[in-house]
Chains A and B, each alone.
With several copies, the nearest count.
Chain A
C-alpha cells in the first residue's frame, strides 16, 4: 500500500475510476489544463483526453445543470466545485433537479453524478474559501452526502459515489488535504456509503464528528485520556446515516458530544442530537452537547482559530458532560 496525502488519494481514485469505466468523466473549473487548483484531477486530461476531463466555462449552475443532461446521455459526470462557497450557485440545480429527476422519471432514468468540493476552514484564505455547507446538501431529498477524514476513505468514498446510482455530494476537508500521508489501498478501493468508522474505541463518552473534526476529536480524546475513555465516531456518510453505529456508541457511553465546523443553528449536528433525543433518550446520562462554529459569517482568518471548534472547546464540553 502506498502512503498518500488525502488529495493524492483522491487523484489516485480518479485514475482508477476513469480507467475502470469509460462513462466516467470529470468536469469543472480548471480541472483539466491545471489539474485542479488543489491538483485533485492532475494527469486526467493527459491520460483520458480533454473530453473526459473538461475545463468548463466559469458557471457552477451550468456545470451541474449540464451534468444532469450528461447523465441522460449515459455519462457519469463528476463535477468539481472549486471551493465550498462557490457551490452555492449550483444549489438551485441540486435541489430542483438533481435530487428530483430520478423521481420525476418514475425511476426510469438514473442520475449517477457526483459533486465534490474542497470544504471547511482554517486555511488562511480570503472570505468564502472556508464554508461548511453540508447541512444544505443533507437536507435536500434525493442526494447522498459523504465526507472523508482519511486519505483511504477519501479514495474509497469517491469510488463508492462514482459507482452509486444516485447523486452523491462529497465534501473534502481541504484543511487535511496535505497534513499526513497514510496508507491507501492501491487499485480498486471502495468504502461503502452509509457505514460509519469507529476512529477510536472508548467507554465513557462519544465524540461524533466527520471531516477535519475527526483528527481534532482524536487529539481531544488524547487530552482527556487520563480522566476518561473517549470514543470517536467518524460518520463518513452523513446521508444515508449509519444510525446503528451512532445509537450503539451512545448506548455504550451514554454521553455524546457532537463536533461540527459549520454554524450551529440547524447544522447537521442538530440532526444527530435529534436522533439521540428520539431514540437514545433512556441511554443518555446527560445532555447532548454540540461544539460548532458560531452563527456568524465565517470570519477573517486572523480570528478563524477562535471560530473553529478547538481541542480546548471539545475538551471543555466533554468535561462538563462527564461532570454532569
Chain B
C-alpha cells in the first residue's frame, strides 16, 4: 500500500506555446541574454580548463534555464545561495566574471562579499547551505525586511540530513525561502532512482507542510513562472516552497569525471539536442522577437565578457602568502604574526 501522492504535472510554458503574463519583449530578450551569458561562461570555462587556465570545473551546461529563470523572478534584495553547480550565477547579480574565474583558479581574488550582491559564497559541500538560506530568510523576516532567499541544490542533496533540517526550520519559522532543487537526475555516478524511492522529489514537500511544485527545468519560462509564484508566496508571508526542476545532466559532473562508465551516452545525446538555451531561442524566434542579428550580438557580447574576464583574472598578480593569515578571524590571535614572519623568513620574503 502506498500513500497516494499529489503529483502536480511538470509545469511547462515553451512546449505549450504559452506566453507568461508580465513578460514583455524586453524581458524575454533580457532573459535570453542571461541564458547566453551563462552558456558562454560554461563553454569558455571548459576551454580554459583544457588550456590549464583554470582548475577542476563543475560544468553546468543545460542547467542555465534553471539558474537564469529563477533569478529573473527575484528582486535584487533577495538572496541567492548557490552550490558549485551555480558557480556563475553571480554574473546575473553583477559579480565580475573574473571573480568567478578566480574562484575556479584557486585564487583568493575569487572571494566576494555576499552582502554586496546578496549572493552567498559558492557551496562546495552538499546541502549544508540549505540551513544558511533558511536562517537568512528567517532573520530577514524577523527584522521586518521583505527579502526572500533561494537555495540551489541537487537531487542528491535531498538525501542529506542538512537538507532535511534546513527545510524543516524554514517551514516551522515560516521563512521566506525557495528550496530550488536542480533534479538533473544524477549525483556524479548515482542515478536519482538510487537516491530515493519517492515518486517525485516534490513529494518531500508535504513532509514539511510546504507546497511542492514540479517544473520542466529546461524550460526557462516555466522555471521563471514557478519561481515567481514561490517568491510571491514567500514575500506575502506564505512561507517556503519546494521547487523541483527536472532536467538532465547532459555533460560530465565536472572536468575530472568520465560519465561513459555509468551513463547511457545515447540518452545524453538526446538531451543535448533539446538543451535549454536552444529551446528558448527557437521559441523566441517563433514569437518573432529574436532574429539572427540579435542572436549574434548577444553571443558576441557574452563572449566579450568572458574574454575580458579571463584577461582580468590572468592580469591579477599571484596572491601574497600573507593572505594565509587574513580573514580566519576578524580579530586574529597574536601567533599569526609570528607564523607569518617565520614563513616570510623561510620563503626569503617571496612566495616562489
Contact = CB atoms under 8 A, between A and B. Distances in A.
Interface of A: 25, 29-30, 32-35, 37, 51, 55-59, 61-62, 64-75, 85-86, 89, 92-93, 96-97, 101-110, 124-129, 141-142, 144, 164-166, 194, 239-241, 243, 294-297, 299-307, 310, 312-313, 316
B271 interface: no
A125 B124 CA distance: 11
A102 B166 CA distance: 21
Contact of B162 (A61, A72, A306, A313): A61
Given A29-B187, A108-B115, A164-B331, A61 B131 contact: yes
Contacts of B143: 73-75
Most buried by B among A101, A103, A128, A243: A103
Given A59-B160, A66-B132, A72-B139, A294 B107 contact: no
B142 A51 contact: yes
Contacts of B318: 302
Contacts of A93: 128, 131, 162
Given A29-B188, A57-B168, A59-B160, A104 B106 contact: no
Closest 9 pairs between A and B when the two form their complex, measured CB to CB: A69-B135, A65-B131, A73-B139, A108-B113, A106-B111, A62-B165, A66-B135, A301-B106, A34-B189
A131 B325 CA distance: 17
Interface string B277-299: 00000000000000000000000
A62 B328 CA distance: 23
Given A66-B138, A96-B128, 8 more contacts: A25-B142, A30-B190, A70-B139, A72-B135, A102-B330, A141-B328, A303-B324, A312-B347
Contacts of A240: 333-335
A62 B132 CA distance: 9
Given A30-B188, A295-B335, A58 B131 contact: no
A75 B113 contact: no
B157 A58 contact: yes
A253 to B, nearest CB: 23
A249 to B, nearest CB: 18
A96 to B, nearest CB: 5
A296 B121 contact: no
B304 interface: no
B162 A301 contact: no
B156 interface: yes
A126 B55 contact: yes
B196 A57 contact: yes
Contacts of A55: 189-190, 194
B159 interface: yes
Contacts of A70: 135-136, 138-139
Interface in B292-344: 318-319, 321, 323-331, 333-336, 339, 343
B327 A69 contact: no
Nearest to A128: B124
Nearest to B127: A58
Nearest to B132: A69
Contact of B169 (A62, A107, A124, A302): A62
Interface in B8-55: 55
A102 B335 CA distance: 19
Nearest to B142: A51
A109 B347 CA distance: 31
A72 B114 contact: yes
Nearest to B330: A165
B161 interface: yes
A165 B332 CA distance: 10
Contacts of B200: none
Interface of B: 55-56, 79, 84, 103-108, 110-116, 120-121, 124-126, 128-140, 142-143, 145, 149, 156-157, 159-162, 165-166, 168-169, 172-173, 187-190, 194-196, 256-257, 261-262, 318-319, 321, 323-331, 333-336, 339, 343, 346-347, 351
Most buried by A among B103, B131, B136: B131
14 contacts: A30-B190, A33-B262, A37-B188, A57-B190, A59-B159, A66-B166, A69-B131, A69-B132, A125-B106, A126-B106, A240-B334, A296-B336, A301-B55, A306-B351
B136 A65 contact: no
A68 B132 contact: yes
Most buried by B among A55, A69, A142: A69
Given A59-B169, A105-B114, A302 B330 contact: no
Contacts of A108: 111-116
B145 to A, nearest CB: 8
B187 A66 contact: no
B135 A302 contact: no
Contact of B328 (A25, A128, A296): A296
Given A65-B165, A107-B330, A294-B339, A58 B135 contact: no
A129 B335 CA distance: 26
B351 A57 contact: no
B19 to A, nearest CB: 36
A126 B84 contact: yes
A300 B121 contact: no
B318 to A, nearest CB: 6
B135 A67 contact: yes
A296 B55 contact: no
Given A59-B159, A106-B111, A302 B106 contact: yes
Contacts of A166: 329-331
Contacts of B157: 58
